[in-house]
Amino acid sequence: MRFSFSGICTLMLAAATLAGLPGSLNAADTPVAALQLPPLPYAQDALAPFVSAKTMGFHYGKHHQGYVDNLNKLVAGTPFAGRPLEEIIRGTANLPDKTAIFNNAAQVWNHTFFWQSMKANGGGRPAGRLLEMILDAFGTFEAFKTAFETAGVGQFGSGWVWLVQDGGKVKIVKTANADTPLAHGQNALLTCDVWEHAYYLDYQNRRKDFVTTFLEHLANWDFAASRLK
Ligand code: MN
């Protein structure tokens, strides 16, 4: 079974529950679909031993679910209730009074994107146009890997390292906390979560080992290539 990333976001809405239908049918009482935690694209133990089922249980089942639950609470009764996730992110980015909504919405999106960025027996290198674009930007694939690891390790505190398409080129960016390329007009291709909760149970403090393992055993280059515009 294979879903496109935008398909997963649509599914989140399609699968949303219309809970608590009231007797009244006034427009103000129309129930608004809550965002749902999208299904993982694989079993929780599918990425072991590189990401353990225990890590996935906490990271997907607790952290990702927590962002979904917080977001639903924060948007209830606001114009963002029932709106598509990407619209909420773009509509709250850089607005100081909307930081909490942005942070939770972006973290929902980032995590859904992260699960898609990995697969069992992933890693290696991409092919075709994406490989050509990486070689054009970094010279060699090894140079790309080193730059991705350096960015991941160099993100002080919590955040993300990304391969993005920006205009006609690919580049590596890192974002702090919940920040996301979506808020910067960049097309995300692949991401690695470098918050400690992503790796601490399996790698303790060794973030570089986690990022290297992500590149060598987990990166889903088919997904990244499917995102190219
Ligand atoms: Mn995370």
Q: What pLDDT is recorded for position 5? A: 57
- Tell me, yes or no, whether 42 lies in a domain: no
Number of domains into which the chain is organized: 1
Burial grade of 120 (CB within 10 A; 0-12, 13-18, 19 or more): middle
Q: What pLDDT is recorded for position 8? A: 52
**181: containing domain:** 128-226
- Tell me, yes or no, whether 164 lies in a domain: yes
Instruction: Residue 205: name the closest of 214, 213, 194, 215 by CA.
Output: 194
Q: What is the pLDDT along the chain (229 residues), one digit of tens a residue?
A: 444 555 454 444 433 333 333 333 334 455 678 999 999 999 999 999 999 999 999 999 999 999 999 999 999 999 999 999 999 999 999 999 999 999 999 999 999 999 999 999 999 999 999 999 999 999 999 999 999 999 999 999 999 999 999 989 999 999 999 999 999 999 999 999 999 999 999 999 999 999 999 999 999 999 999 999 9
DSSP codes, 37-69 = PPPPSS-TTTTTTTS-HHHHHHIIIIIIHHHHH
Q: Are 89 and 105 contacting, i.e. CB atoms less than 8 angstroms apart?
A: yes
116 CA to centre of ligand 1 in angstroms: 13
110 CA to centre of ligand 1 in angstroms: 8
65 CA to centre of ligand 1 in angstroms: 11
- Tell me, yes or no, whether 178 lies in a domain: yes
- Tell me, yes or no, whether 92 lies in a domain: no
Q: Ligand 1 being an ion, which residues bring their Cβ within 5 A of it?
A: 193, 195, 198
- Tell me, yes or no, whether 219 lies in a domain: yes
- What letter would DSSP give residue 145? H
CA distance 209 to 64: 23
Instruction: Residue 36: name the closest of 85, 2, 76, 80 by CA.
Output: 85
Q: What pLDDT is recorded for position 30? A: 57
CA distance 222 to 127: 9
Q: Which residues contact 8 (CB under 8 A, 6 or more apart)?
A: 38, 41, 112, 116
177 CA to centre of ligand 1 in angstroms: 9
- Tell me, yes or no, whether 177 lies in a domain: yes
185 CA to centre of ligand 1 in angstroms: 22
CA distance 62 to 73: 16
- Tell me, yes or no, whether 176 lies in a domain: yes
Please name the residue that has the structure tokens 């280059």.
221
- Tell me, yes or no, whether 37 lies in a domain: no
The domain that contains 163 carries what CATH number? 3.55.40.20
Q: What pLDDT is recorded for position 154? A: 96
CB atoms within 10 A of CB 121: 10
Q: What pLDDT is recorded for position 32? A: 74
Q: What pLDDT is recorded for position 22? A: 32
